[in-house]
Amino acid sequence: MGNPANGQQMLGITAPISLAGPTDYDKIKNQELEKYLFDAGLYESQEEALLREEVLGRLDQIVKNWVKTVSHKKGFSEQLVHEANAKIFTSGSYRLGVHGPGADIDTVCVGPNYATRNEDFFEELYRMLAQMPEVTQLHPEPDAHVPVMKFKLSGVSIDLYYAQLPLWVIPEDLDIFQDSVLQGADEQTVLSLNECRSTYQLLHLVPNIQNFRTALRCIRLWARRRGIFSNVMGFLGGINWALLVARICQLYPNAIPSMLASRFFRVYTQWRWPNPVMLCAIEEGSLGLSIWDPRRNPPDRFHKMPIITPAYPCMNSSYNVSSSTLHVMTKEFQRGNEICEGMEVSKADWNTLVEPCLFFEAYKNYLQIDIIAENDEDLRHWKGWVESRLHQLTLKIERDTHGLLQCHPHPIHFSDISRPFHCCYFMGLQRKQGVPVQEGQQFDIRGTVEEFKFSVLMYTMWKPGMTLDVSHARRRNIPLFVLQ
């Protein structure tokens, strides 16, 4: 859709809300914002940027060697072994250009049809990585919603996903952004490629990439400080926040980052969930893959906060959001909007916006989830598994209390240095506001907690010593090591 007034191409499924550019006030606020983000240490050094590039090059070598090893072990001809290839693609914050110091790199290894996910990726490649001195904290998650191998390579954190394409040879110039690459691919491959493909498409759907990046850095910092940056906990992760900011860029195409941040809170304070956020129309595609469509797919009707990926097949990237976590985020949008309005009359600044959430002052009652193992490696694996299941505890509590008890999970774990191989998470608990309650009404969630613990203990890599305790903690009894 074009705009005859300035010849500017319009992006998005609706016309912009405003084509206005910045005022002098906006330019001043923008300078303040850019300085604040820089002073907050959100930009990596040139040395770290070079190290990341070297690590990605090394990772590409590793997967190329891996696939040649696999083809040789399977008895393929010398010609096929010679041609055997795999490629690394990046996604997430690194691909978007908004990563900060120490951030992990989301990567996808694209391999051929004979290199299987379970045996070759999670076993053979795992063995190869485990033998490399530059690889540490190696942690496979084959049972995750999108299976992933996590590790550090030369100190850089890597999340490595696997896409197994129905090709004998992966060409070095493979274009994974053509829909045809998904022809005949399995569901895990489609999921593994979706964020990578959506990240690429997102960057082509915003009017000004640099403005988008600066605004997104601001929103990511705000979400982390306010304790709502965690897809696994039922809040939003990197791709979700990126899609929300990108939609604001479409609605205000001539706005600079300070304006985009302010409009972000204004728009999402008023947004009527579960109306979906979309950057482009949902395409049916020609491959018959399942797309997000609440009219046809009953499970899609229960999504609380749909944020739809732009690449085919369009999916809801925020499927983990629950009624409780949506309630928390809605309050945070409102707070952000009030602060941005306060900035206009000099009653607040960017630091006010991103002040850390006082989580342990917000509730009277909490659940404390203690995770214990017998050594560091076991704890890392056990913690990763429990963390991936915690949103299920939120859903079970909502279900068993008919939505009357709301949970606010804190996305960061705490460790007591006096207790080795231990960490804990907390959830704030409160009655749903605005609902009449009987005097003295209590919620007994002991059965809910036992059901949750039973499901978590089904962990396929469970070892003796891996234990899980869930207990009720009042505000006044929160351990000191958490508050220090």
Q: Which domain holds residue 333?
A: 206-285+293-353
Residues 111 and 137 in one domain: yes
Residues 51 and 177 in one domain: yes
Q: 159 in a domain, yes or no? A: yes
Residues 276 and 180 in one domain: no
Please report, for the domain that includes residue 244, its CATH number.
1.10.1410.10
Report yes or no: 88 and 108 within 8 Å, Cβ to Cβ. yes
Q: 264 in a domain, yes or no? A: yes
Give the model's pLDDT for residue 461: 86
Residues 161 and 234 in one domain: no
Residues 318 and 253 in one domain: yes
Give the model's pLDDT for residue 438: 66
Residues 405 and 269 in one domain: no
Q: What's the whole-number average pLDDT of the chain?
A: 94
Residues 57 and 162 in one domain: yes
Supply the pTM of this predicted model: 0.94
H/E run at residue 164: strand 156-164
Residue 65 has pLDDT above 60, yes or no: yes
pLDDT in tens, 85-120: 999 999 999 999 999 999 999 999 999 999 999 999
Residues 53 and 185 in one domain: yes
For residues 9 and 229, the model is more confident at: 229
Q: 339 in a domain, yes or no? A: yes
Q: Please, is 369 exposed, middle or buried when counting C-beta atoms within 10 Å of its C-beta (0-12, 13-18, 19+)?
A: buried
Q: In angstroms, rounded to a whole number, what is the distance separating the alpha carbons of residues 358 and 158? A: 31
The per-residue DSSP string of 376-428 comes to HHHHHHHHHHHHHHHHHHHHHHHHHTTT-EEEEE-SS-B--TTSTTEEEEEEE
Structural domain count, the chain: 3
Q: 160 in a domain, yes or no? A: yes
Residues 369 and 270 in one domain: no
pLDDT in tens, 345-398: 888 999 999 999 999 999 999 999 999 999 999 999 999 999 999 999 999 999
pLDDT in tens, 204-238: 999 999 999 999 999 999 999 999 999 999 999 99
Return the percentage of the chain with pLDDT > 70, whole number. 97
Mapping DSSP to helix (H, G, I), strand (E, B) and coil, where does residue 1 land? Answer: coil
Strand duo 365-372 + 156-164: pairing: unpaired
Q: 427 in a domain, yes or no? A: yes
pLDDT bin (cut points 50, 70, 90) of residue 6 is very low
Residues in the annotated binding site for Mg(2+): 104, 106, 159
For residues 437 and 180, the model is more confident at: 180
Q: 11 in a domain, yes or no? A: no
Residues in the annotated binding site: 104-106, 159
Question: In whole angstroms, how far apart are CA 415 and each of 151, 224, 238, 476?
Answer: 21, 19, 25, 19
Return the percentage of the chain with pLDDT > 90, whole number. 88
Please report, for the domain that includes residue 193, its CATH number.
3.30.460.10
Residues 340 and 258 in one domain: yes
Residues 349 and 220 in one domain: yes
Structural tokens at position 430: 């409160």
Please report, for the domain that includes residue 464, its CATH number.
3.30.70.590
Residues in the annotated binding site for ATP: 104-106, 159
Report yes or no: 309 and 195 within 8 Å, Cβ to Cβ. yes
161-181 average pLDDT score? 95
Q: 32 in a domain, yes or no? A: no
Residues 226 and 172 in one domain: no
Q: 460 in a domain, yes or no? A: yes
Give the model's pLDDT for residue 5: 40
